[in-house]
Amino acid sequence: MQLDALVDAGVQKRDVFADVTSGSKTAIERPGTKKLLAYVEPGDTVVVWRVDRLGRSLIDVLNTVNLLRERGVHLRSISDGIDPTTTSGRLMLNMLATLAEYERELIVERVNAGIAAARQGGTRFGRPRSDPVVTAEKLAIAQDARSKGRTAEDAARLVGWSRATLYRHRQAAEEHRS
């Protein structure tokens, strides 16, 4: 949808810079943004589908817009109709960026509330606990292999573990006996 809107606005597909990445990275850390910044020259116009596509937070969007403006690059937003060269355009930019950040914060709050509710309901997160009986059996097999001269790595591989996992289970068994 965004690509179609950009092409309809006159942007050639070869001139589209995109990122598919985690929201934890700032705009200038993203590969697509880095390529864009290396490509644009003073007097160019960067066309975006929506202004909030320039970053993941109010500060990130504003930093990206300011970086473009400092380089003499213009900005045009298709969906928002925002022109940051005008006072009203800057006002709209700040308002939209603030709303986008608010929306993302609400999503984080909902996710965290869902996780807390799941924990209260007994849901466990992370790696499932090992069956102690199975662990003891695998440990016995690995120790038998070690007593027959196999390396720790070979013995661990024999039961589907890494060498570190073998050592961790062996240490836990020794601590349990003490």
Question: Using CA atoms, how far apart are residues 27 and 51, in angstroms rounded to an integer?
Answer: 12
pLDDT score of 19: 74
Q: What pLDDT digit, counting tens, does each position of 65-103 carry?
A: 888 889 999 888 888 777 777 888 888 878 877 887 788
- β partners of residue 76: 47
3-state secondary structure of 121: coil
Query: 78 and 10 in one domain?
Result: yes
Query: pTM higher than 0.75 for the full model?
Result: no
Q: Are 103 and 152 in the same domain?
A: no
Contact 23, 51 (CB under 8 A): no
Give the burial string for 163-174 (b: 16+ CB within 10 Å, else e): eebbeebbeebe
Read off the amino acid at residue 54: L
Same domain, 104 and 165: no
141 is in which domain, residue-wise? 132-177
**How confident is the model at residue 93, as a pLDDT?**
76
Give how many domains the chain has, as a whole number. Answer: 2
pLDDT of 24 > 70? The answer is no
Asked which of 18-22, 33-37, 84-88 is least confident by mean pLDDT, the reply is: 18-22
Question: Could you tell me the CATH number of the domain that includes residue 35?
Answer: 3.40.50.1390
- Both 47 and 114 in one domain: the answer is yes
| Residue pair 54/64 in contact by the 8 Å Cβ criterion | yes
Beta bridge partners of 45: 74
Name the pLDDT band for 33 (thresholds 50, 70, 90). Answer: confident
Residues 96 and 66 in one domain: yes
Q: Are residues 158 and 85 in the same domain?
A: no
